Structure 1
Amino acid sequence: MTEQRSNLAGHFPAADGIRGLAVLVVLVAHALVMFIPATRPYLGGTGKIGVWLFFVLSAFLLTNKFLKKGINIKSVSEYFLGRFLRILPLFFIASAFYFYMGYYNTETLKNVLAFQQGFAHLWTIPVEFKFYFMLPIFLIAFQAIKKRFGVFSVAFLAILITIAFRYFYPVSLLQENSIETRWYISSFIVGIILSYILRNLNIPPRKYGFYILALLFLILLIIPSFCKLITGTVIVPNLATSYLSISIVWAIFIYFSLLDTGVTSSILSSSLMRKIGNHSFSTYLAHWFVLTQLAKKYTDSIPMMLLSIVASLLLGAIIYFVFEKNIETFRHRVQKVMASPSK
């Protein structure tokens, strides 16, 4: 935990584990509804819970890097190049693969590659990628107001932005799996504010396991079917439009997890969870293929469902070592060159 607290501007060991948790949530949710069709009316869409965690964590980590390096032409150029190399090559490979395997036609492939159309789980990639262009703009505004009025003014401005987006883009008009980032700005804003809070509030590290478990239980209560089973009623009727409330809970979860010195931090910082987190992008892109192929042949088979989850993780690891790791090595080399002082 000392490493995490002394490295608030850098890398958080538990962050990789949190990313691993996010992809496991998506995997388990998708596997359940594909292999056990009877669960679809009750668990359909629950994979989005993991997606919101991805959104919040991504905004948090990217903001943290900017706040460490500062916002200038050099850091922004390095950031954009890094995001392009991080996302696009693997996304293009995955999109081409699904086209080759007959999941969609040439016209759909063109639209998917151009971020004009989503496909299955791939709808989240355009959402997050478009946010990358907005992040520096948000941070320039936040840093300017922080310099003049203090850190609490940043939270106030973030609330105003969130209210504005919710007003102009009400969740009642949200289409399922929309690729338009504007609907999910509030989730990313939550991640940005989390970075400011963690850097400016001097909360001591200690065991937060009880709070973390309580937050995970609260996440479960947001799932309509689970909530009705436990309480007899439904608190949140539509999971797809509950991204703001889920994002806030996830942000608190991340906050306590990064400060925790107990079992939770040990689990999230473990070698297994960090590896799953490191492979999460490859796993996320590939898991749909594994699940759909096996679910067609082994419907209602729990053992095959569990096997499909393991197979997805293994395929994600293979793709990581064959493609993603090499792309990442190249990306870090380029960013290192860009970050080095000019002679």
Structure 2
Amino acid sequence: MHYFEYLDGYRGLLALIVACAHTIHYSAKSELVNFLNTISQSVGVYGFFVLSSFLLTYRLLKQLKQFKQNSILNYFIRRFFHVYVPFFIYATLAKFGPRIIGGHINYHEHLFYSSWTSLVSLNTDGSSHLWTIAPEIKYYFIIPIICLICLKLGNKKILFVTAAGLWLALDEKFNFFGLGSSDLDIKKRHVLLTRYAVFLYGSMAAVVLDIIEDSKAIVDFLKKNQVQFLINYSSLFVSLIGVRYKNHHLISEFYTSGKIWSSVILLVALSNEENFLKKFFCCSLLKNCGKYSFGIYILHPIFIQTTQYYAEFEMQLDFTVLVLFQSYLAAVLFNKYIELNCIKLGNKFKHFFKI
């Protein structure tokens, strides 16, 4: 099974993009921050949705083929203790702890957290950054279904990819669920149905990679220098399109973003170590940010508030850099004292019940 080390760097980059974008009200004179704000959803949020669904689908698919017993149960236990429990802790502190734990969202007149009940039940209708956690966790329940279907299909997994691709193409054109712009606003964006396509593209990329890896002929073909040259430049070209892409029609945006970032991830996964993007994502700084990305993402509002309150800036890039630096240090501590202990608790749970 692959360990996609370079995707840690990709995850770190996405976390930094979103955190930077949220400083827009305080760094408005910075062209870089303005640009990151314009791509924060199409690149940062949707890129992470694709990445998450790709990795989880790929790993569970491999585990089901190698270790069928308890694979799905282990998958849910791992997701619960890795993601939901740390999220639950932060959401609880943001609502009942010191006001500053909620960061600038608790102080900004146009931003607000949902009620505690709504947050922990993933009915996140507030205008905070935590809305992204809800559809991701909900999609965790779809991934095992996809993997079991593919396992049942065996060597005919391409049928799943074909059917899913056809469904998404038709749904984008005919809008089967009747989604409108109002369904994508802050009141409904936590609903999986409004963003399911982005996740599904990531799962499709994972299944395609699994199909390719099962074929020695395809693998050998992809190793040829000419093919690698094409893959290398194609991945770079598609990623540049993704960074430059912006569509004010919100439904088209998440469909197109899903296609772009699932294609990039798949192309980079099929490339050798000379791939430009793979080298870039292997940067130590980005990989470290990826390791602590969850903490960076959920904690950065704290430091947006404290930085603008205790320091004086002329709305320049230095504000954003300071926020990122503090968020990273806090994320390291959050990982050490919260995330890792949640993982240990999950391991003890599995050991106690002999799972």
Same fold by TM-score, threshold 0.5 exceeded? yes
Normalised by the length of structure 1, the TM-score is 0.81
Name the structure 2 match of 1:5: none
Normalised by the length of structure 2, the TM-score is 0.78
Partners of 1:174 and 1:241 within 8 A in 2:
no
Question: Deviation per CA, 1:3-32, whole angstroms, max 9, x where unpaired?
Answer: xxxxxx242111211211211221222223
Match of 1:111 among 93, 114, 118: 118
- Give the deviation of 1:240 after TM superposition: 6.9
The 2-side partners of 1:182 and 1:32 are apart by: 29
Question: Deviation per CA, 1:33-68, whole angstroms, max 9, x where unpaired?
Answer: 542179799765632221111111111111112211
The 2-side partners of 1:106 and 1:247 are apart by: 27
The 1-side partners of 2:16 and 2:193 are apart by: 26
Name the structure 2 match of 1:284: 297
Match of 2:85 among 82, 89, 92: 89
Going from structure 1 to structure 2, the CA distance change for 1:325 and 1:198 (only over 3 Å counts) comes to: same
Gaps of 5+ in 2: 107-111, 213-217
The 1-side partners of 2:346 and 2:8 are apart by: 18
Name the structure 1 match of 2:63: 69
Partners of 1:20 and 1:277 within 8 A in 2:
yes
Are residues 1:52 and 2:61 paired? no
Alignment of 1:176-215 (within 5 A): 176-177=185-186, 178-201=189-212, 202-203=218-219, 204=222, 206=228, 208-215=231-238
With 195-204 and 74-83 compared, the bigger mean Cα shift is at: 195-204
Going from structure 1 to structure 2, the CA distance change for 1:244 and 1:59 (only over 3 Å counts) comes to: same
The 2-side partners of 1:339 and 1:278 are apart by: 29
Gaps of 5+ in 1: 1-8, 224-235
Partners of 2:184 and 2:194 within 8 A in 1:
no
The 2-side partners of 1:180 and 1:69 are apart by: 29
Partners of 2:20 and 2:36 within 8 A in 1:
no
Alignment of 1:213-252 (within 5 A): 213-223=236-246, 236-238=247-249, 242-252=253-263
- Give the deviation of 1:98 after TM superposition: 2.1
Question: Deviation per CA, 1:232-291, whole angstroms, max 9, x where unpaired?
Answer: xxxx22357511211211112112323242243233234332221111111111012212
The 1-side partners of 2:333 and 2:73 are apart by: 31
Name the structure 1 match of 2:332: 317
> What's the Cα RMSD here?
3.0
Name the structure 2 match of 1:143: 151
Going from structure 1 to structure 2, the CA distance change for 1:147 and 1:216 (only over 3 Å counts) comes to: closer
Q: Once the two structures are aligned, what percentage of the paired residues are identical?
A: 21
